[in-house]
Amino acid sequence: MRGCELTAYMFVWDRYRLLELPWDSAWTWWIVFLGVDFCYYWVHRLAHEVSFIWAAHQVHHSSEYYNLTTALRQSLTQQFTSWIFYLPMALIAPPAVFAVHIQLNLLYQFWIHTELIKNLGPLEWVFNTPTHHKVHHGRNSYCIDKNYGGILIIWDRLFGTFTAEKEKVVFGLVSPINTFEILYVQLHYYLYLGRRSTTFKSIGDKCLTFINGPSWKPGKPRLGDHLDNPKLTGQEVPHYPNWSLPLQMYVIIHFLLALGTYQDVFDNKMTLSQFNMLGMTGYVLLTITSMGFLVDQRPRASVLEMLRCVLMATMQRYGYMKPLLPTLAVTTQAFVSLSLLYWALRSFSQMFSIRKKTD
């Protein structure tokens, strides 16, 4: 989708540009900086005010913590729509300058996902800071649909969407998802919108379910009024399953092994066949899905993890999976074999216990 964004941008630039700002002028870089940030404000605002775009963006807000890992909790589908809003920049801004600023805008927003940095004094008037973005991630009523800025907070001050921190911020979605299953986190809101639209009789209301705000209902304003949102007590705690330390260590080690496979795919993507690329990508997705099942302690987690370990052992056997370090090759193979044996025994044990109960 990044390729789609840049290709579409270059298409508009080549055929429809109104003027050609010189790429080596400092004025060009400053103008594009402001233009990209302005476009981001509206991309971000509409991601909160249009339900089918919010279905993608809610992934980023689903964390009940506010730290640097929250910045990395990104949507699988948001890039399908966000690139469209930057196309007006192609009327004046060279693609190379735009490409730099779109990345700069994204990278800037990484560091503001933290509670460790407090008030930055006069910088708070102009820049989006951790204190401003902290409010944006809150599910308190005063935090909802506020502080959309990327690098600059001036757009929120200009368009009336700015608010300062007033009381303790409770992070996460209005209705917490309480799961670590990645596919559910990514896609559940699309399913919710589909179910919700079926509760309305008129075709117009069914369509408005996807176009209006997440809190909208027939008879309410376009963005809804948030009156039906769960009330906060200030005593809310993040969802944290009670799982053992050995299981935590197991998940961490297997996540690191999957991360190594991902890095291997990334390094060799130009030489791998489509079959190998899709197979290794599928393995990575299966791994983090299975890890989510284990963290949530789902009843079927044992069977899924056993099947994943079978696939993992097969990939090791045929050289599609490398150890994190060459010196750990034998240790990694042994660890995978033990993992497979453990989950196989546990799966069969669960099957026998279910049969005994039914008998």
Question: Which tokens hold the place of 194?
Answer: 């589909």
pLDDT at 89: 94
CA 150 to chain centre: 16
The confidence band for 357, taking pLDDT boundaries of 50, 70 and 90, is: low
**What is the rounded average pLDDT of the residues 147-155?**
96
Q: Is 337 found in the same domain as 235? A: no
Q: Is 223 found in the same domain as 184? A: yes
Query: Of 198, 215, 239, which residue constitutes the final position of a domain?
Result: 239
Query: Of 189, 209, 239, which residue constitutes the final position of a domain?
Result: 239
pLDDT at 11: 94
pLDDT at 219: 85
pTM above 0.95, yes or no: no
Angstrom distance (rounded) from CA 55 to CA 77: 9
Query: Of 239, 255, 272, which residue constitutes the final position of a domain?
Result: 239
Q: Is 65 found in the same domain as 164? A: yes
Q: Is 226 found in the same domain as 334? A: no
Q: Is 226 found in the same domain as 286? A: no
The confidence band for 139, taking pLDDT boundaries of 50, 70 and 90, is: very high
Write a three-state SS string for the chain.
CHHHHHHHHHHHHHHHCCCCCCCCCHHHHHHHHHHHHHHHHHHHHHHHHCHHHHHHHHHHHCCCCCCHHHHCCCCCCCHHHHHHHHHHHHHCCCHHHHHHHHHHHHHHHHHCCCCCCCCCHHHHHCECCHHHHHHHCECCCCCCCCCCCCCECHHHHHHCCCCCCCCCCCECCCCCCCCCCHHHHHHHHHHHHHHHHCCCCCHHHHHHHHHCCCECCCCCCCCECCCCCCCCCCCCCCCCCCCCHHHHHHHHHHHHHHHHHHHHHHHCCCCCCHHHHHHHHHHHHHHHHHHHHHHHCCCCHHHHHHHHHHHHHHHHHCCCCCCCCHHHHHHHHHHHHHHHHHHHHHHHHHHHHHHHHHC
- Residue 133 in this model has a pLDDT that exceeds 70: yes
Q: Is 164 found in the same domain as 287? A: no
Question: Which tokens hold the place of 255?
Answer: 């996540």
Q: Is 36 found in the same domain as 183? A: yes
Angstrom distance (rounded) from CA 323 to CA 328: 6
- Residue 52 in this model has a pLDDT that exceeds 90: yes
Q: Is 76 found in the same domain as 181? A: yes
Q: Is 283 found in the same domain as 230? A: no
Q: Is 206 found in the same domain as 262? A: no
Q: Is 264 found in the same domain as 118? A: no
Domain of 352? 245-356
**What is the rounded average pLDDT of the residues 128-140?**
95
Angstrom distance (rounded) from CA 63 to CA 233: 19
| Tally of structural domains, the chain | 2
Give the lowest-confidence range in 131-140, 231-240, 247-256, 301-310: 231-240
Q: Is 193 found in the same domain as 316? A: no
